């Protein structure tokens, strides 16, 4: 049984990403390839990190453009057979729907508000009102447009679960084991708290990949989440 963790493979090169993936896949359900690694290495990185493990792939590209362009991009990367593909919910319902329709066998995960943002940052880009209200509003919009998953911080996951019900996969970045450095994440929580509040999949990167032994770090966090 693997833990509901997506390890963020934010590696400097394909070889490091593949090594990390091989170390963690015995313990976690998903490996995540982000925009920087995908752009640096190209689509071949997806087969490199999957290897022979059959571990599910999360393509975290956060697509955000006009609906036609997002549809084309989603259709192109759907050929790589990811389990999840991210788009920005702030692109609007038509954009989210275009991605859903273009990548029928992929779960489109709509990003609500980035975990690096706080109320001050939201005010600066012209979003008024409490950050939680924006998260709820974007979550409802994305689910209405067909998104099968949502990305939100662990601080909002309980409220989002109450808003959208049990049928939507909630993915939470900004997850840090107790005592770990939050680094550039603002809205964080421990893995145990995020799951208790309703998260389905926890995105964890540097606490695992930055460890001297990523496999051991993944095993340790996984063990804390799985039933004994």
Nearest to 34 by CA among 25, 45, 48, 20: 45
What are the helix (H) ranges across 67-213?
Answer: 67-78, 93-102, 119-124, 131-144, 157-164, 191-196, 206-209
Distance CA 147, CA 33 (A): 20
For this structure, is 81 an active site residue?
no
**Other Cβ atoms within 10 Å of 140 Cβ, number:** 17
CA distance 16 to 3: 22
Catalytic residue among 2, 32, 62, 81: 62
* Active-site residue list: 62
């Amino acid at each position: 049984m693997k833990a509901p963790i997506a390890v963020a493979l934010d590696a400097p090169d394909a070889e490091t990403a593949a090594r990390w993936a091989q170390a963690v896949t015995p313990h976690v359900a998903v490996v995540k390839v982000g925009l920087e690694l995908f752009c640096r290495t190209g689509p071949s990185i997806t087969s490199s990190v999957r290897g022979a493990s059959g571990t599910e792939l999360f393509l975290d590209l956060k697509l955000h453009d006009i609906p036609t362009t997002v549809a084309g991009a989603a259709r192109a990367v759907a050929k790589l057979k990811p389990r999840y593909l991210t788009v920005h919910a702030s692109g609007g319902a038509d954009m989210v729907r275009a991605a859903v329709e273009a990548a029928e066998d992929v779960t489109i995960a709509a990003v609500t508000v980035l975990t690096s943002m706080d109320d001050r940052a939201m005010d600066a880009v012209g979003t008024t009102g409490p950050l939680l209200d924006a998260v709820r509003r974007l979550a409802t919009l994305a689910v209405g447009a067909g998104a099968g998953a949502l990305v939100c911080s662990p601080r909002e996951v309980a409220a989002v679960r109450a808003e959208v019900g049990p049928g939507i996969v909630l993915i939470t970045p900004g997850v840090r084991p107790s005592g770990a450095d939050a680094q550039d994440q603002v809205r964080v929580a421990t893995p145990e708290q995020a799951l208790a509040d309703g998260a389905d999949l926890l995105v964890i990167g540097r606490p695992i990949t930055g460890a001297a032994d990523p496999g051991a770090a993944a095993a340790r966090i996984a063990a804390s989440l799985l039933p004994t």
